[in-house]
Amino acid sequence: MDSPPLKGAARIGAYLKTLPDGPGVYRMLNAAGDVLYVGKAKSLKKRVAAYAKPNAAQAGRIQRMISETTEMLFVTTGSETEALLLESNLIKQLKPRYNVSYRDDKSFPNILLRQDHPFPQLLKHRGAKTAKGIYFGPFASAGAVTRTLNTLQRAFLLRSCSDSVFAARTRPCLLFQIKRCSAPCVGRLDEAAYGELVREASDFLHGKSRAVQDLLVTEMTAASDATDFEKAARLRDRLRAMSQIQASQGVNPSTFDEADLFAIAEQGGQTCVQVFFFRAGQNWGNRPYFPRHDRDMGLAEILESFIGQFYDQRSAPRLVLASEEIAGKDLLGEALSLNAGFKVEISTPQRGEKREIMERALTNARETLGRRMAENSAQAQLLDGVAETFGLDARPRRIEVYDNSHIQGAHAIGAFIVAGPEGFEKAQYRKFNIKSAELAPGDDYGMMREVLTRRFARLVKEESEQAPDAKWPRPDLVLIDGGPGQLAIACQVFADLGVEDVALAAISKGFDRDAGREHFHIPGREAFRLDPKSPVLYYLQRLRDEAHRFAIGSHRKKRSAAIGANPLDEVAGVGANRKRALLQHFGSARAVAAASLADLESVSGVSGTLARKIYDFFHSNA
C-alpha cells in the first residue's frame, strides 16, 4: 500500500539533502500547484532548514504557509543581490498569497523635449525612452503631465504639433492666437530665438527656475523702461505661468533635488503606500497604492517588499526616502544601484525638512486609507444588498453584466463588464464580435445566446482543465440587460453547458423606460421592483449603465473602423503605392470596383495579372 505524499514541514525537510549552501530563490506550492510564497535567501539550505523545524515563535501566516506546502522549487543565483531582483520579479508575475503584492501595470508619464528637429517639440511621453531628447519625469499621472504641459506652453511658447503638421502650416494655428505657441512654423520666430526659449524651458525643468525667472524679470523691466509695453506684457504672462506651475506643485524641497518618497500607513489590517516624486527640486505629484498582504506582516517588511517590486521594471533615483526603517536597506540599495547604473541610497529621515515632508506624506497616506476604507464599507453594504435582493448565499465577489449593441444588426457587438468589492474591474471587461452568419439582423436573443455560449464554454473548458491562470473566473452573479426573453436564453445556455452555482438575473426598463421603474427578473419568481430610493437600485442602475456604455463604445469603434476600411486592402498584391495609383486614376474604391478589365490594365504600375486579380475580386459573385 502506497504511503500518502509528504506535506508541510516533513515535505520541506526532504529537500535539505540536495540544497546548496548558497544564495537563491525558492517557491512554495500547495497541492493544487498554486504558488504560496516566493522568497530569497543568502543560503538556501539554512533558510529551508528553518521552515523544516516549525516552532511556536513563528508567525501565524508562516505556520499556515508551511502546513499547506506540498512542493518547493529552487533557483540558485550568483549573489544575494541577484536573488533579491529575481524574487521581486517573480512576486509581481505570480502574486503569491503570502507575499506582499500590488497591481501596477502602467508606466509613469514623462515630458519629452525632443532634440531631433531644428525647432524642438515639447510633448507627453510614456513607455520606452527611444526618441532622441531630454526626458523629465516621472510624473504621478497623465493629468499632472497635461496640466504642466499646458502651463509650460504659456511660459515658453514651444510647439506641441507633430513634424508633419509643422511642415504643412502656412499660417499660425489657434495656439499662437491664444499665446501658447511662438509659431516658428511660419517664421514668426527664427531658429536662434526659438533655441533660447528651448534653453529656458530646459533650465526651468532642470530646477533652475529662479535663474530663469530672474532673467525674464530683467527683460520685462528693460522692455517697460523702453516703453515696449506689449513685450513687457508677454514676459509678465510667461512669469505668471511659471509661478502657476510652482504653486500647483505644493511642497518643493530645498535640501535635495531628486528623490522618491514612500510613506506607509496601516489601519484595520489594510495599508496605503503614498509614493511622491521629486525631480529638479520640484514635487511632480504622488500616487497611492494599496498592496495586498497578510495581516500579520509589519509595516517595515511590507514597505521593503513593496519598494523592491516597485523598481522591478523602472530605475530608482539616487535617493529613496522610506517612512519605516528597512532591515535589508543595504542589500535593497545595492540591487537598485545595479539596475539604475549609479549608487542609490535608501534612508529614513529623522529630522529637518525631509522629516517634515515625510510627515505630510504620512498624513496623506492615512487620509487616503481612511477614505478607501469608508468606500469599501459602503461597497460591502451595497453588495450585501445585492445578495439579499437576488437570494445569494453570500456577498458576490464578481458580478458580470451583459449587453449588446448594433444598428439594425450591423457591426453587432456583445460585451460584459465586471464589478466586485473593489468597484469596476475594467481590466476584466470583454467584448465579442458577433460571428454567427445565421442570425437575422437585429436578433437580440440570438446575439445574447452567442455571447453567453462563448463566454461560459470557455469557463467550462478552463475548469475542466483546472487551468491555474484562468483569465475569466467564475462569476457569482450574471446580470443581463433585458427582460424575461433574455433571461430564458441565459437559462437555456447554462443548462446546455452544465453551468451551475451561478445566479442569473435580468434588468428591464419599466413603463416609458423611466429610470427608477426597472423590473428585475430571476428564474422561478415573479418580476419585482425595488424601492425607487434604494441604494441597491442605484448601484444596479450604475452597473447596467456601465455595461451599456462599454457595449456602445465598442460598437462605435467597430463602426468607425469599418467606415475607414478600404476594400482594396483585401486584394492580394495591392500595396500602398498601387492602391494610391488606383484611387488617383479612378477617384474612389467604388469606381475601381465598377471598372472594366481594360480600364484596370491602363493604370500605371498595374500589370495584366494584377488587373485580372482586382477584376475577379469585385466580380466573383456577379
- Which uninterrupted H or E stretch holds 368? helix 352-390
Q: For position 3, what pLDDT does the model report?
A: 58
Confidence tier at 126 by pLDDT (50, 70, 90): confident
Confidence tier at 217 by pLDDT (50, 70, 90): confident
372-386 pLDDT per residue, tens:
887 788 888 899 999
More confident site: 141 or 479:
479
Confidence tier at 210 by pLDDT (50, 70, 90): low
What is the C-alpha to C-alpha distance for residues 92 and 106, in angstroms, rounded to an integer? Answer: 13
For the cut 80, the answer to whether the pLDDT of residue 426 exceeds it is yes
534-546 pLDDT per residue, tens:
889 989 998 998 9
Confidence tier at 458 by pLDDT (50, 70, 90): confident
Q: For position 555, what pLDDT does the model report?
A: 61
75-125 pLDDT per residue, tens:
999 999 999 999 988 988 888 989 888 766 567 888 888 888 889 888 888
More confident site: 554 or 560:
554
Mean pLDDT over 238-250 rounds to 61
Q: For position 407, what pLDDT does the model report?
A: 56
Q: For position 71, what pLDDT does the model report?
A: 92
CB half-sphere exposure, 401, CA atoms < 13 A: 24
What is the C-alpha to C-alpha distance for residues 111 and 129, in angstroms, rounded to an integer? Answer: 11
Q: For position 174, what pLDDT does the model report?
A: 86
For the cut 60, the answer to whether the pLDDT of residue 142 exceeds it is yes
Q: What is the mean pLDDT of the chain?
A: 84
Q: Do 35 and 72 meet the contact criterion of CB atoms below 8 Å apart?
A: no
Q: What percent of the chain has pLDDT above 90?
A: 28
Handedness of CA 94, 99, 103, 104 (dihedral sign): negative
Instruction: Please give the torsion angle defined by the CA atoms of residues 121, 127, 128 and 134, in that order, rounded to the nearest 10 degrees.
Output: 30
Task: Assign 374 to helix, strand or coil.
Answer: helix
Domains and CATH numbers, the chain: 9-94 (3.40.1440.10), 110-248 (no CATH), 259-370 (3.30.420), 399-562 (3.30.420.340), 567-619 (1.10.150.20)
E-strand ranges in 291-374 read: 319-322, 345-347
Q: Do 316 and 336 meet the contact criterion of CB atoms below 8 Å apart?
A: yes
Q: For position 514, what pLDDT does the model report?
A: 53
For the cut 60, the answer to whether the pLDDT of residue 409 exceeds it is no
Q: Residue 151 corresponds to which amino acid?
A: T
Mean pLDDT over 259-277 rounds to 91
Q: Do 332 and 84 meet the contact criterion of CB atoms below 8 Å apart?
A: yes
Q: Give pTM, 2 decimals.
A: 0.64
For the cut 60, the answer to whether the pLDDT of residue 513 exceeds it is no
For the cut 80, the answer to whether the pLDDT of residue 327 exceeds it is yes
The least confident of 466-475, 511-520, 568-577 is 511-520
Instruction: Give the CA distances from residue 448 to residues 273, 435, 452, 453, 466, in Å, rounded to whole numbers and listed in that order.
Output: 43, 12, 6, 8, 27
CA-closest candidate to residue 224, choices 237, 212, 233: 233
Confidence tier at 224 by pLDDT (50, 70, 90): confident
Confidence tier at 589 by pLDDT (50, 70, 90): confident
DSSP sequence for 410-467: EEEEEEEEEEETTEE-GGG-EEEE---TTSPTT-HHHHHHHHHHHHHHHHHHHHHTT-
Confidence tier at 28 by pLDDT (50, 70, 90): very high
For the cut 50, the answer to whether the pLDDT of residue 622 exceeds it is no
How does 552-564 read in b/e, with b if 16+ C-beta sit within 10 Å?
eebbeebbeeeee
Q: Do 452 and 460 meet the contact criterion of CB atoms below 8 Å apart?
A: no
For the cut 50, the answer to whether the pLDDT of residue 1 exceeds it is no
How does 594-612 read in b/e, with b if 16+ C-beta sit within 10 Å?
ebeeeebbebeebeeebbe
For the cut 90, the answer to whether the pLDDT of residue 165 exceeds it is no
